[in-house]
Amino acid sequence: MNIQALLNEKVSAALVAAGAPEGSPAAVRQSAKPQFGDYQANGVMGVAKKLGTNPREFAAKVIEVLDLDGIAAKTEIAGPGFINIFLSEAFLAQQAEIALADSRLGVAAEQAQTIVTDYSAPNVAKEMAVHHIRSTVIGDAVTRTLEFLGHKVIRANHIGDWGTQFGMLIANLERVQQESGEVSMELSDLEAFYRDSKKLYDSDEAFAERARGYVVKLQSGDEFCTEMWKKLVDVTMIQNQRNYDRLSVSLTNDDVMGESMYNDMLPKIVADLKEQGLAVEDDGAQVVFLEEFKNKDGEAMGVIIQKRDGGFLYTTTDIACAKYRYEQLGADRVLYFIDSRQHQHLTQAWTIVRKAGYIPESVSLEHHAFGMMLGKDGKPFKTRTGGSVKLKDLLDEAEERAAKLIESKNPDLDPEEKAKIANTVAMAAVKYADLSKHRTTDYVFDWDNMLAFEGNTAPYMQYAYTRVASIFAKAGLDADNLDGAIVVTEEKEKALVSKLLQFEEAVQSVAREGQPHIMCSYLFELAGNFSSFYEACPILSSEGETRQSRLKLAALTAKTIKQGLSLLGINTLERM
C-alpha cells in the first residue's frame, strides 16, 4: 500500500472539513527524522495563509477532524504548522504481514498505460562506447519498474541505422567481401572497419564515387545495397547484444526500431507540414521557423526538415518517430533516455509535432536527460590516447578488478563460484554506479568507488542482501514459510518496518520521474535500517514470538532488497 497516498487523502479530507477549499493540497511527505514522525503534512501553512488564519490554530482544527483511526498512534503540530504523523505499531505490523504474504510485496498495480521507452540507441557500424551505458542501464531500470507496475511497455531501440555514411560502408564491405570471399558475421573490429571506410572515401576518388552511388541506390531500395546494409546492421547488433546480455539489459533484437523504420513516412510529413503552412522553402531547403526558439540574432529559429538536395534530417525522423509511437503503438507516454546535449533537438521536433497536431497534449513526451560520463580528472572519460573507451573493454576491466577483489576477500571459494560472484559483482558495480547518481548531472567514473563494499554501491547492496539471506541458511529455515505474527515494539523495528512499507512509494517515484537513483537511495537507507535493527534486536538468539516476528521482518527485508535491485536490473547472490 502507498501510505503516503493514503495519508494525503485523509489529510486532504480533514483540510476541507476544517474549512479549506476543495482540492487543497495536503502535501504529505516522508519525515526526514524519526522525531518528526513517519510522515509530515506540510499543506496547512499554505491553506491557512489563503484563509487568513493562524496556521497553528488551523492545524489544530485539522487534527480534530483528521480520521487516522487504525493508522496513526499520534499526530502533533510542529513548528509553524506542520502536522507530524506517527504510524501505529499495529498498523505497521498489519501492513508488513500483507506485504510479506504478497508476491508483489503489497505494491498495487497502476492503471495500465502503454508506454514507449526509447533507450540505448547505439549507431550501426560503430562499437558501443562507454557513454552508451548511461542510456542503456537507466532506460532499462525504468522500463523494468514500469512493467512491474503493470504497464504495457514497448522498448524502442532507436539505433542509428541510416544516413549517407552507409554509402562508404557498403562500398567497403563489398571490397572486403571481394578480397576475402565471405565476410564472417564477426567483423570483429567494427571501429577499424569504419575508419578504413572513411579513409578510402577521403583518399580514393573511384571508391568515393561508388559510395555516393550506393547512398542513392540504398535509398531507392536497391536489392544489393539493402542486403549489404542489413549485414552491417546485423553484425553490429550481434555485438551489441553481447553487451546487453553481459549487463543483463532486457533489450533483444525484437526491440530494434531504428531510424530507417521511419523513412517511408518522411516525404509525407514534409508535404503535410508544407500544406499546414508550418514548413516553408528557404534557400531551397524546407524549414520550420519556431518562435519558441531564438537564433543568435533573436529571431525565430529555423529547423531544417529537408535539405536542398532532398535529404531528410535527424529531426525529421524524430518527428515521424513520435507520430508513429502515438498513432501506431498507441502510446500514452513516451520516455526518451538521451544525453542532455540532444535536448534542443528533441524539443524542437516535439514542438513541430504538437503544432502539426500529430499528438494530443494528453500524451506526454518526456526527455529523461542525463549528463556526461567523466573521468576522475573531471574531463570526458577517454582512453589514455584520447579515444573513446569501448564498452566491451570497460566490462572486461570491471570483471578483472572484481575477480581480484573477490579473491582477496574470499580466497577459499571454489573457482567456479568465485568467477560467478566476480562477474555478478562487476556488472552490478558498473550499472549501479551510474544508476545511483541523479541522472541529470555529469558523473565521475571511479573504479574504487564503484567496487567499494561501503557506501551506496552495488557490492554493499548485494552484500546486504546475502547477509540477510544467510540468516535463514544459518538457522536452516525457509524464508517463505515462517510461522508466527509480526509484532512491532522496539524503536528500531518500527523504523525498519516504516521504511519497508515505503517501497511502493519508491517504485512509483521511479516510474513517474524516470530516476532510478530514487530506488538506489531507498534501498541504501533500507539496508541501513536493517543494520541498526540487527544490532539492536537480536534475531536468532531471541525466543518465541519475538524470534518469529524478527525472522519475518528479515524475510521481508531480503525480499524487498532483492525485488528493488531486480527492478534496477541488478542481480543478487545467495552467497558472496
- Which residues sit at the interface with ligand ARG, rule CB under 6 A? 118, 121, 123, 158, 160, 318, 321, 336, 338
The string of DSSP letters for 362-392 reads: TSEEEE--B--EE-TTSSBP--TTSPPPBHH
Specify burial of residue 377 (Cβ count, 10 A radius: 0-12, 13-18, 19+): exposed
What cell does 573 get?
Answer: 547472490
Distance from chain centroid for Cα 567: 9
Q: Cα–Cα distance between 99 and 78 in angstroms, integer? A: 31
Question: Would you say 38 or 339 has its CB closer to ligand ARG?
Answer: 339
**Radius of gyration for the chain, computed over Cα atoms and rounded to the nearest angstrom:** 28
Q: Cα–Cα distance between 538 and 547 in angstroms, integer? A: 8
Question: Would you say 121 or 570 has its CB closer to ligand ARG?
Answer: 121
Least Cβ distance, residue 244 to ligand ARG (angstroms): 15
Least Cβ distance, residue 341 to ligand ARG (angstroms): 9
Least Cβ distance, residue 568 to ligand ARG (angstroms): 22
What's the maximum distance between 2 C-alpha atoms anywhere in the chain? 88
Question: Would you say 224 or 314 has its CB closer to ligand ARG?
Answer: 314
Question: Would you say 38 or 318 has its CB closer to ligand ARG?
Answer: 318
Q: Which amino acid is at 500?
A: L
What cell does 100 get?
Answer: 510479506
Least Cβ distance, residue 386 to ligand ARG (angstroms): 20
Q: Cα–Cα distance between 155 and 135 in angstroms, integer? A: 13
What cell does 151 get?
Answer: 504497464
Backbone angles phi, psi at 536, to 5 degrees: -85, -30
Tally: H helices and E strands in the chain: 20, 13
For the beta carbon of residue 357, count every other beta carbon within 10 angstroms: 9
The string of DSSP letters for 80-114 reads: TTEEEEEE-HHHHHHHHHHHHHSTTTTPPPPPP-E
E strands in 276-339: 279-282, 285-294, 300-306, 333-336
Q: Cα–Cα distance between 120 and 55 in angstroms, integer? A: 50
Q: Which amino acid is at 187?
A: L
Question: Would you say 294 or 341 has its CB closer to ligand ARG?
Answer: 341
Question: Would you say 75 or 165 has its CB closer to ligand ARG?
Answer: 165
Least Cβ distance, residue 570 to ligand ARG (angstroms): 24
Least Cβ distance, residue 139 to ligand ARG (angstroms): 10
The two beta strands, 152-156 and 28-30, are unpaired
Question: Would you say 128 or 290 has its CB closer to ligand ARG?
Answer: 128
Least Cβ distance, residue 396 to ligand ARG (angstroms): 22
Question: Would you say 39 or 166 has its CB closer to ligand ARG?
Answer: 166
Question: Would you say 19 or 371 has its CB closer to ligand ARG?
Answer: 371
Q: Which of 16, 20, 18, 22 is nearest to 51 (CA)?
A: 20
Q: Cα–Cα distance between 315 and 5 in angstroms, integer? A: 40
What cell does 27 get?
Answer: 502535501
Element (H, E) at 300: strand 300-306
Residues 118/156, Cβ–Cβ less than 8 Å: yes
Question: Would you say 341 or 474 has its CB closer to ligand ARG?
Answer: 341
Question: Would you say 77 or 321 has its CB closer to ligand ARG?
Answer: 321
The two beta strands, 285-294 and 300-306, are antiparallel
Is the four-CA dihedral 216, 219, 223, 227 of positive or negative sign?
Answer: positive
Q: Which amino acid is at 291?
A: E
Question: Would you say 260 or 572 has its CB closer to ligand ARG?
Answer: 260
Q: Which of 396, 456, 382, 454 is nearest to 427 (CA)?
A: 396
